[in-house]
């Protein structure tokens, strides 16, 4: 489990507690903050899972290229939004290719 996943789970728990307490006392600002923290936590957790997958892939790279792969993975960790959007984009492209391939 990555640090991102741990931080994401903590942020989600905090957000859910804030939303619940905001609902209880009728504090709309607290409800919105809770929703924000919950969404932030989900995003961090998803990013952590993606980085876990990247780390597993790096371990499977041929030894000659492993250092370069680790460097790329480290850069990906520094830019979570770009990395998440890139992975999502590649996933959508693959999905499009697979679904178009089935229609032929």
Calculate Rg over the CA atoms of the chain: 18
List Cα–Cα distances, 98 to 53, 63, 85, 101, 103, in angstroms: 21, 31, 20, 5, 9
> What is the Cα–Cα distance from 48 to 80, expressed in whole angstroms?
9
Q: Say what the pTM is.
A: 0.64
Average pLDDT over residues 13-18: 95
Q: What is the pLDDT of residues 30-60, one digit of tens each?
A: 999 999 999 989 888 888 888 888 888 888 8
| Cα end-to-end distance, the chain, whole Å | 41
């Amino acid at each position: 489990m990555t640090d991102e996943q741990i931080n994401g789970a903590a942020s989600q728990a905090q957000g859910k507690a804030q939303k619940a307490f905001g609902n209880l006392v009728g504090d709309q600002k607290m409800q919105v903050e809770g929703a924000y923290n919950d969404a932030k936590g989900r995003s961090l957790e998803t990013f952590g899972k993606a980085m876990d997958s990247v780390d597993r892939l790096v371990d499977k790279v041929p030894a000659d290229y492993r250092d370069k792969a680790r460097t790329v993975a480290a850069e990906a960790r520094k830019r979570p939004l770009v990395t998440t959007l890139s992975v999502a984009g590649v996933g959508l492209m693959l999905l499009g290719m697979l679904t178009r391939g089935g229609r032929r």
